[in-house]
Chains A and B, each alone.
Chain A
């Protein structure tokens, strides 16, 4: 089965949120996680920055409230993007709002893993600020390139993550193909370390 639509080529004017250490509490506050569901979280994305306190009134100068970025599919972030809580709701909220690519100099590891499981490309690129001049960019995952104006920049992504996103693959289905090997490991390990299984 396909877990989500493959990520191949994504184009558009990227929305710049060029601050370091954007944490998952900022991406979606705990108080916005009030249903046992992955759906419909886009309205809660960046709620603490996007809305006036205690309301759903937009803060006009927050980047995602500005009309030029209302359709953005690409978000530019600073260092250590997605740090903090493991809440996958952060990625579900980004995806539901319409984000398919986050470009940043670095990602917190749990957030990066959550992106790859949900059809959001975490592209590692040092010079993110140069992409924030209002011109459209094209992200090509297969080529691992970002085209911007007349220039192209390479970005980093681990090969297994790239394969997951390009194929829109379901990780559980992939792993189940290794069922006999996994069962054999568990049988050996159970004999060697029975206290782990007791």
Chain B
């Protein structure tokens, strides 16, 4: 969507106020087949060309095909240290809230708001409401941040955080590695929230240190001193407070056409969904699948690939199931290859792809036929999201991998 904003800005003869603070990632429609040169989406080349030309004219850094730092913006931004605690970050993509996991105020906007941000360095905002979700206890074995995000959606609804800035707090969050925190905050937009965020702590600071665009030396020490002040004060009040127990969360699976329509994988569908061809009262375990997808800004990080590979090692994708894994960034792909995960996936029968948004959504070009049933580590199961008539069951990477091997929806534990 950046191409639309930049083109519109140029047509209005308005300049980008500070191009040094603007970055462009080629992620949404980029081809992910090895040896790629562009996009397979019909008409998509015009978007890539428009982005490149507008960025060149405005002096904006583009992370393009062939760049070792290219990736899905919400995966690559944090891992490059472009996203930092205390920063305000906007991007014309709803999953920008992912980056709140670093203690940034990060939120998705439309193209007009992106134009405004580029032209003025500001946005006109109405202050968001405040919500804190305190998650006590620890997630059980085989239960991930993705399952927690789906469980929160199932409990509080797809508009449960509408317009709110949601802080995720509590023992379960403090115990999470940064990549899991990014997954949790990623789905704040599915909750209707303006953003999700997590207080910066020592776990985060250790993760950020030495990242390519993070401050270094004396600047690191100065930044760290300010970042330590960012956590919510004791006694702070919120407009809405919720508590949730991590010990109650099981691996989750989507059964409907809203991310809030998710249940524990061993449960039955609570209602009919005609689009999904799911009957109320029927078990979800054992539903035959046609395809399995691992990737996206929700679950395309190294820890996600490791969790899936742990399930797949020495096993095979069931006959007739098409399976892909699309690393969330070029550097995730390289790191995975360095530890041999690509071989685990390809030996099991998965396609090993280049990084991009890929099958998280379908904009045309090669895809799945109508009626296909897909288990997917993505964030949205809307009608048509992965193609006309395609049925999407959202789940964690481990659940996707276990289902790919079983040929049916399966429990990863």
With A84-B380, A86-B1 already in contact, the answer to whether A175 and B122 are too (CB < 8 A) is yes
Taking CB atoms and an 8 Å cut-off, the chain A residues in 28-56 that contact chain B are 29-31, 33-38, 48, 53-54
Rounded to whole angstroms, the CA-CA distance of A186 and B215 in the bound complex is 19
Rounded to whole angstroms, the CA-CA distance of A34 and B199 in the bound complex is 40
**Minimum distance in angstroms from A108 CB to a CB of chain B:** 6
Chain B residue at smallest Cβ distance from A47: B384
Q: How many residues on the A side are at the interface (Cβ–Cβ under 8 A)?
A: 53
Among B110, B112, B382: residue with most chain A CB under 10 A: B110
Rounded to whole angstroms, the CA-CA distance of A35 and B44 in the bound complex is 8
Grouping DSSP codes into helix (H, G, I), strand (E, B) and loop, the B interface class, with mixed when no group exceeds half, is loop
Query: Scoring B residues 1 to 35 as 1 if CB is less than 8 Å from chain A, else 0, what string do you get?
Result: 10110011000101000101100000000000000
Which A residues are CB-close (under 8 A) to B192?
80, 83, 106, 108-109
Q: Does B362 contact A (CB under 8 A)?
A: yes
Query: Scoring B residues 134 to 145 as 1 if CB is less than 8 Å from chain A, else 0, what string do you get?
Result: 000000000000
**Minimum distance in angstroms from A61 CB to a CB of chain B:** 15
Per a CB cutoff under 8 Å, which of B50, B108, B112 touches A171? Answer: B112
Identify which of A66-74, A126-134, A144-152, A188-196 touches chain B: A188-196
Which B residues are CB-close (under 8 A) to A54?
388
**Minimum distance in angstroms from B169 CB to a CB of chain A:** 22
Q: Does A180 contact B (CB under 8 A)?
A: no
Q: Does B205 contact A (CB under 8 A)?
A: no
With A117-B110, A175-B122 already in contact, the answer to whether A34 and B43 are too (CB < 8 A) is yes
Q: Is the CB of A25 within 8 A of B361?
A: yes
Which B residues are CB-close (under 8 A) to A114?
110, 112-113
Taking CB atoms and an 8 Å cut-off, the chain B residues in 342-396 that contact chain A are 361-364, 370, 380, 382-385, 388-389
Q: Does A96 contact B (CB under 8 A)?
A: no
**Minimum distance in angstroms from A104 CB to a CB of chain B:** 11
Q: Does B315 contact A (CB under 8 A)?
A: no
Which B residues are CB-close (under 8 A) to A17?
none
Q: How many residues on the B side are at the interface (Cβ–Cβ under 8 A)?
A: 69
Q: Does A10 contact B (CB under 8 A)?
A: no
Which B residues are CB-close (under 8 A) to A30?
361-364
Among A83, A107, A186: residue with most chain B CB under 10 A: A83
Rounded to whole angstroms, the CA-CA distance of A53 and B362 in the bound complex is 15
Q: Does A184 contact B (CB under 8 A)?
A: no
Among B3, B14, B108, B111: residue with most chain A CB under 10 A: B111
Q: Is the CB of A172 within 8 A of B120?
A: yes
Q: Does B86 contact A (CB under 8 A)?
A: yes
With A30-B361, A31-B362, A106-B159 already in contact, the answer to whether A88 and B110 are too (CB < 8 A) is yes
Query: Scoring A residues 100 to 118 as 1 if CB is less than 8 Å from chain B, else 0, what string do you get?
Result: 0000001111100110011
Rounded to whole angstroms, the CA-CA distance of A171 and B111 in the bound complex is 13
4 tightest Cβ-Cβ pairs between the two chains A and B = A195-B215, A34-B43, A88-B110, A80-B159
Q: Point out residues on A near B: beta carbons under 8 Å.
A: 20-21, 23, 25-26, 29-31, 33-38, 48, 53-54, 79-80, 83-88, 91, 106-110, 113-114, 117-118, 158, 160-161, 171-172, 174-176, 178, 182, 186, 192-198
Q: Point out residues on B near A: beta carbons under 8 Å.
A: 1, 3-4, 7-8, 12, 14, 18, 20-21, 41-44, 46-47, 50, 84, 86-87, 92-94, 108-113, 115-116, 119-122, 124, 126, 128, 157-159, 162-163, 189-190, 192-194, 214-215, 219-220, 222-223, 226, 258, 260, 361-364, 370, 380, 382-385, 388-389
